[in-house]
Structure 1
Amino acid sequence: MSRRAATAVAAISITSVVLAACGGESDEPDAAPQGAGEGPVEAPSEPVTVSFFSWIGNQPEMQLLADEFHEEQPNITIEFENVPAEQAAQVLTTRIAGNNAPDVAYVNASDTADYASRGAAVDLANYIERSEVVNPDDYVEAFKTFVTYEDAMYGLPMGGETTGLFYRTDLFEAAGIDGPPATWEQFEEAAAALTDPAAGTYGFEMFAPESAYYWYPWLYQAGGDLLSEDGEILFTSDEAREAADFYVGLAQYAPPDYLNSNSWDGRVAFAEGQVGMYIAGAWFAGTLTEEFPDIEGKWATAPLPEGEAGCKTTIAGDSLVMMDQTDNPDAAWLWMEFLSRPETLARLTYETEGTLLPPLTSLLEGEEITQAKPVLQGFIDLMPCGVASTVANPLFPRIETVLNEELGKAIYGDQSAEDALNNTAQQAEAILARG
């Protein structure tokens, strides 16, 4: 779960490509099996098995939760189907195409609309209306945006993170920088002051394979966006060009040896003092504490520097979806509902060794979370600034794949930032035209 940014970018691309190639998928959602009647869903009267596809099934806490669920629901057996996070989207979409989908899948939340648009996921409206546990109004709006397709929720958010700035306080002090940058101008000034290639130190870390994801905060801060609701391309606007020029220009302050890395592997450069600033989700705080205790007290967090549009940051997360091929929708829902209890979401996020945020406003505003993990306060404060870095358009994942490649080329200096956006737009027009 700590590789969220990298897997989110990779998974959304794979999902789109594979689903598009699957002959077994229709263009429109099917009539999905949904709950019926009124009141809470009842337990099955006969033994059934619910398959649960995820990359968290082998975690001890999940095993404990399954045991507790089995005590409550003796007629339902949870069968874990574990897969590495980096391979999950490809494996799942291949299984969907082969009519061998699991009952419930734990997915990158940004993939939910794609599954829904192709009839692979169940519209949960009826189940949510009948639930005494799931309160859609309690979900953080950005998390809920991820799992909504055509005004209906096709997934239940499980948690995630906002993106903030990590900086080495010791390197800042040595460079004579008073504190974290609050504006773009201050950010570039700090990056320049921290960069000394002869000494092997740099101001900021960039990752070409994840170039699109880490460009989004700058895009939103500049007042730009990706696609309109009706599919119009927006990422070639003046605001988007400004954001891309600034973002790509930061590569001169980045260690070249890590440009081809991902944010997970690149954490080492920050930990070893090779780079002074690092943008990442809340997961990185837990990783630093757990893996690099020797630098405790030498780093801190801050909000991202603000652009003309003010406070904006990306948000990423995971969700539960019920697959359309399930033969046991009610039993599948009971498992999803159990995992969505506030106390369960707390156990799976901030009560673990990691530093993920729960998707519920009630938990984020409570005292328990910051008492357990004080470092999360800054990321909680960023929630109102969070923008779900996805578009409710099933074609966008394919466009995002191109955007990632083109911005990556610009980071390497093979083309300008403007060319990257124009090249992406040209290919995006073709993708949208094909439908």
Structure 2
Amino acid sequence: MTRTKSVSVAATVVVTALALTSCGSSGGAQVGADKKQTLTVWAMGEEGTRLKAVTDEFTKQHPNITVKVTPVGWDVVHQKLVSAIAAKKTPDMAQMGSTMMGEFIALDALEPVDTKTFKKSDFFPATWDSNVKDGTAYGVPWYADTRALYYRTDLAKKAGIDKAPSTWKEQQALAAAYQKAGAEWGTDLQPSSTGAWQSWVQYLYSAGGELIGKDGEPALDSPAAIRAFTEWAGYFKKGLAKKTFTPGYDVTKDFGSGKRPMFQSGPWMVANIDDQQPQIKGKYKVVPVPADKTSTSWVGGASLVTFKNSAHKAAAEELTQYLTTPKTQAKWYEADKALPANKAAWDEPALKGGGDSLATFKTSLDTAKAIPPLEKWNEFAAAVEGALAKISQGADPAATAKALQKTAEGLVG
């Protein structure tokens, strides 16, 4: 899971009753989509509380299909899914975070996607690629997240800079100018703890690097990776970013006060800032992540998966089709502010009039790269975060990358 509107969001929706004996299908004979049936769906976080309204519309068009949506908290979903798979009592369908895909593909729990029904060309490439293992797709992209740079334009002008940073050099120069002009920190950058990898991967991709090389092995000590580690470390080495991190920290308030006038995050932060810091409306911009070789962010978000154990695969395919049509995706954006994964949805009125910030995220999605679906992603990410913690405190990037590479090689099979 990579969509974190705030730290509390991912853990807010708590499952109060989720008995495995009543949550899924037995995996028996398949039921045709035209037959009367109940389709069970698990959805996470805020999506779990909002999806029912959308599925009610689906049911009007498919009155024979009753859709039962169960909200599941991001903090408990992993264990719930693992337990359900072991008990062969999975739901028919689920929303699945992008970084969860690898593990559940490896568990052989997911039904391959029918690529005659769902076309890769309909979606942003990275949203599709995050679901593909050994040439087979196991999920259909639902919504997308990517990262962009937020910066205070008013404070930049006071610091003598009136141009958006488009390169690494310009980004560090702006951070230094902010601090010289009185900001406590030139930028916000997470140095350690869970999620720190999200502050670094865009540097890796923009430098031309990969998490996993073409040979299927980690590429964390490549020249591009070392360059990305070094650039990222420069903010801490020069005192432009704080070396310590408090779990649960939300940059919104400090962005509004000017203490941390620059940071990288996802699209949900636009609404957070406008709601919580209305005094800076019109005084900040969102631009693509600054470039090294390229400006390349990464894609998170969620896909829709059908479980092999489901007896309602035809109905699941119907609902998946409905949820990923351009019009439904546009309606979902209006309800949830989740970026559509279907490219055609961006031509719908709800998105075409979304302003400069939304256009920035569209540009970022066009060029973003996937997080590969690794079976041991959590351990892999934790290893990267451990290396980042050391580098932020002054460890040599090259030596740390070399040690990280050895650790990561043991996590990729």
> The TM-score by the shorter chain falls in which range?
0.7 to 0.9
Any conservation in 1 of the 2:167–2:291 contact (CA below 8 Å)?
yes
Give the drift of 1:319.
0.6
Count the aligned residue pairs.
392
Separation in 2, partners of 1:161, 1:255:
25
SS at match of 2:147: strand
Any conservation in 2 of the 1:229–1:392 contact (CA below 8 Å)?
no
Q: Is residue 116 of structure 2 the alignment partner of residue 96 of structure 1?
A: no
Which amino acid is the alignment partner of residue 371 of structure 1? G
Give the drift of 1:105.
0.9
SS at match of 1:70: helix
Give the drift of 1:42.
4.8
Q: Is residue 76 of structure 2 the alignment partner of residue 87 of structure 1?
A: yes
- 1:122 aligned residue (92, 111, 133): 111
- 1:324 aligned residue (305, 308, 331): 308
- 2:65 aligned residue (76, 83, 90): 76
Residues 40-75 of structure 1, C-alpha deviations (whole Å, 9 max, x = no match): x95242333423343345534x22222222222233
Label 1:6 to 1:326 Cα distance change in 2 as closer, same or farther (>3 A).
Answer: farther
Q: Percent identity?
A: 24
Q: Is residue 320 of structure 2 the alignment partner of residue 336 of structure 1?
A: yes
SS at match of 2:286: strand
| Residues 41-60 of structure 1: pairs in structure 2 closer than 5 A | 42-60=32-50
Separation in 2, partners of 1:47, 1:98:
22
Residues 110-145 of structure 1, C-alpha deviations (whole Å, 9 max, x = no match): 3223312320111022xx42x4xx443211111111
* Structure 1 residue aligned with 2:175: 191
Label 1:174 to 1:248 Cα distance change in 2 as closer, same or farther (>3 A).
Answer: same
| Residues 164-179 of structure 1: pairs in structure 2 closer than 5 A | 164-179=148-163
Give the drift of 1:393.
4.0
SS at match of 1:369: helix
Separation in 2, partners of 1:6, 1:151:
34
SS at match of 1:249: helix
Q: Is residue 389 of structure 2 the alignment partner of residue 408 of structure 1?
A: yes
* Structure 2 residue aligned with 1:364: 346
Separation in 1, partners of 2:174, 2:152:
12
Separation in 1, partners of 2:336, 2:46:
14
* Structure 1 residue aligned with 2:246: 260
Q: Is residue 131 of structure 2 the alignment partner of residue 141 of structure 1?
A: no
* Structure 2 residue aligned with 1:290: 275
**More divergent stretch after superposition (360-369 vs 236-245):** 360-369
Unaligned runs of 5+ in 1: 12-31, 36-40
Give the drift of 1:6.
8.2
| Residues 211-222 of structure 1: pairs in structure 2 closer than 5 A | 211-222=196-207
Any conservation in 2 of the 1:5–1:213 contact (CA below 8 Å)?
no
Which amino acid is the alignment partner of residue 237 of structure 1? S
Separation in 1, partners of 2:349, 2:363:
13
Separation in 1, partners of 2:390, 2:29:
45
Any conservation in 2 of the 1:50–1:331 contact (CA below 8 Å)?
no
Separation in 1, partners of 2:93, 2:73:
16
* Structure 2 residue aligned with 1:4: 4
Label 1:167 to 1:332 Cα distance change in 2 as closer, same or farther (>3 A).
Answer: same
Question: TM-score normalized by structure 1?
Answer: 0.81
Residues 270-307 of structure 1, C-alpha deviations (whole Å, 9 max, x = no match): 12221121111222112212332221022111222110
Which amino acid is the alignment partner of residue 400 of structure 1? A
* Structure 1 residue aligned with 2:22: none
SS at match of 2:291: coil
Any conservation in 1 of the 2:150–2:264 contact (CA below 8 Å)?
yes
Q: Is residue 290 of structure 2 the alignment partner of residue 305 of structure 1?
A: yes
- 2:405 aligned residue (425, 432, 435): 425
The CA RMSD over aligned residues, in Å, is 2.9
Separation in 1, partners of 2:204, 2:388:
13
Give the drift of 1:91.
2.9
- 2:99 aligned residue (94, 110, 118): 110
SS at match of 2:144: strand
Residues 1-50 of structure 1, C-alpha deviations (whole Å, 9 max, x = no match): 9943888xx99xxxxxxxxxxxxxxxxxxxx9998xxxxx9524233342
Label 1:64 to 1:399 Cα distance change in 2 as closer, same or farther (>3 A).
Answer: closer
Which amino acid is the alignment partner of residue 176 of structure 1? G
Any conservation in 1 of the 2:102–2:377 contact (CA below 8 Å)?
no
SS at match of 2:82: helix
Give the drift of 1:82.
1.1
Question: TM-score normalized by structure 2?
Answer: 0.85
Label 1:357 to 1:301 Cα distance change in 2 as closer, same or farther (>3 A).
Answer: same
Separation in 2, partners of 1:373, 1:416:
42
SS at match of 2:410: helix
Unaligned runs of 5+ in 2: 12-26
Label 1:306 to 1:339 Cα distance change in 2 as closer, same or farther (>3 A).
Answer: same
Separation in 2, partners of 1:111, 1:317:
10
Label 1:365 to 1:71 Cα distance change in 2 as closer, same or farther (>3 A).
Answer: closer
Separation in 1, partners of 2:396, 2:87:
42
Give the drift of 1:174.
1.9
Separation in 2, partners of 1:412, 1:376:
35
Any conservation in 1 of the 2:324–2:342 contact (CA below 8 Å)?
no
* Structure 1 residue aligned with 2:19: none
SS at match of 1:112: helix
Any conservation in 1 of the 2:144–2:302 contact (CA below 8 Å)?
yes
